[in-house]
Amino acid sequence: MALTIAPSALPLTKIKAENKNAKQIRGMQVFEVFKTEYPVIRAFLLHETPFQLLIATMLSAQCTDKRVNQVTPALFRKYPTPTDLGNACLENIEAMIQSVNYFRSKAKNIQSTAKIIASLYQDHIPNTLSELVKLPGVGRKTANVVLGAAFNHETITVDTHVKRLTQRLGFTSSDTPEKIESDLQTLWPEWTWSAYSSYLISHGRATCFARKPLCAQCKVNNLCPSRRQEAK
């Protein structure tokens, strides 16, 4: 039986050919519009320390920030440091985060990570990508979130919103986060990376939805080669 796709789920208009220089110029035009529309949010997850941001970001994988923000305050009050979390009873951690998707595997990862940070880094979070991605359950996206929000490094965080919007805006045709990040680094000045990621996430949540993007209301529709016909 053939799969029927709703019109709202159909791909947007194909992106026209564009050289790199033109794409860089358009990228900065989009950035300037976003700068007036959205505040720069260094992190969407509640935290007070780099360690708390790391744990919250790990918990947010395949889960909403809203849900994570509901469970982490109590978790962090009980286990504020890597040593505290590393020495905790695993069953207690699971009970505190059980409303989060994949809570059992995440409980194991956050505790294992806490133990490593406590023993190898004396409760201080490493501040390099190479060190962070070696921690259990920490991928490149999580590491970039922490480096950007906790250590003020310029990083590009490729989550579902950034992937979707940069593809629609014609800044990348890649599918993997690593390749998308590499593509964007060649187009955007480094000083924009963290802010641009934040703007795209905000715009993806407010306007450029996955199934029904609000092209007619989009402030950058005149700069988007994938906008729907009715938005012109």
Q: Which residues are catalytic?
A: 141, 159
Q: What's the one-letter identity of residue 150?
A: A
For 25, residues 6+ apart whose C-beta sits below 8 A from its C-beta are none
Q: What is the DSSP letter of 4?
A: P
Angle ∠(67,112,82) on CA atoms, nearest 5: 75
Could you give the dihedral angle defined by the CA atoms of residues 87, 92, 95 and 97, in that order, rounded to the nearest 10 degrees?
-20
Got the DSSP string for 74-133? Answer: HHHHH--SHHHHHTS-HHHHHHHTTTSTTHHHHHHHHHHHHHHHHHHSTTPPP-SHHHHT
- The C-alpha atoms of residue 117 and residue 179 are separated, in whole angstroms, by 29
Question: b/e map of 127-146 (b: 16 or more CB within 10 Å)?
Answer: beeeebeebebbebbbbbbb
